Amino acid sequence: MRPISAPFPISRFRRLRQTPALRALAQENTLSVGDLIWPVFVRDGVGLREPIASMPGVARLSVDLVVRAAEEAAALGIPAICLFPYTDPTLKTEDCAEAWNPDNLTNRAPRAIKAVVPDIAVMTDVALDPYNANGHDGLVRNGVILNDETLEALVRQALVQADSGADIIGPSDMMDGGIGALRQALEVAGHKNVVLMSYAAKYASAFYGPFRDAVGASGPLKGDKKTYQMNAANSDEAMRLIERDLAEGADMVMVKPGMPYLDIIRRAKDMFGAPTYAYQVSGEYAMIRGAADRGWIDGEKAMLESLMAFRRAGCDGVLTYFAPEAARAIKAAAQNGWLDHDKTMMESMLAFKRAGADGVLTYFARDIARLLK
């Protein structure tokens, strides 16, 4: 599509920026609470909230408090919560056996959440780094991260998570063939409805540091992850990986990190049209939060601007540690007049009539009847 516009002064782009109403009419993208997934860190214990120094405002929560977080998310309208465990160092081994323990943190938490908040979607992480004595996402032998042997471990891990009630499984390991192996195993085990969100384009990034602190993987990590995570200089490779994972059975794809890779998001959405997500990772969060806490930027505005950037780039949703804060800000924006509820509702109903509908099934029925009387 090539935009057509007349030369100045016949064409003045500022005309559509004069008032909030005109800006709203010309707005191309929107951000809603339904676009958010909230990553939450889980730790052992009861009634424990352990702040994470490198992620101000974020804490590791015991399972009972994770359930409360899920209740908060549901009340705000956040559709999904994503769980990451902080594993006791004494349980970390070279064979990563704790990863498929039915009673580990990752598996206890979904059961507890579903007992109280059954309708929220629970996403779990498939990778070995929280359970690995050396901090890597795969099994290691003689300093080499093993691919095919790791797949067997990941399948065991994913099946237990599905048994525990995970709605979405996010394999973040970046092993070749992982999506195909997981999809086949889930089908055979009767978990045909479990969703796979592939971390297809996961880059070896400097922005993961605070996350590794949060899950306790920084200390054990030997070397780096460049033999299995992507080179930050590559974009064509990301498209090949996304195509492969979709062909192997991924339902959704993710680009990680988010903000430094908006070009990858745009290319992926344009090329494949699949449900596409970004992970606004710990380093991105920490930069915005840290600058806001020091008064260098307006934290709320920067948060919302960054999330809108993902939507503008083509994302269907975003994993973000800002999720509850963003949800409250989005709701407040509507209540504060950025969105006139009655006018927007009536405008949407009129659009159906204008398009030729004889009637409309709508949850706004009572509100509309009140206004029409």
Question: Where in the sequence numbering do the catalytic residues fall?
Answer: 202, 256
| Helix residue ranges per DSSP H, the chain | 20-26, 63-76, 105-116, 148-163, 178-188, 209-214, 236-248, 262-272, 282-293, 299-313, 323-333, 341-354, 365-372
Tokens of 317: 């949703």
Count each helix (H run) and each strand (E run) in the chain, helices first.
13, 12
Q: Which residue shows structure tokens 């009140």? A: 370
Q: Where are the beta strands (DSSP E) in 27-143?
A: 36-43, 49-51, 59-62, 80-85, 121-126, 140-141
d(CA 135, CA 114): 30
Torsion of CA 169, 172, 177, 183, to 10 degrees: 0
Residue 281 · residue 290 · CB < 8 Å: no
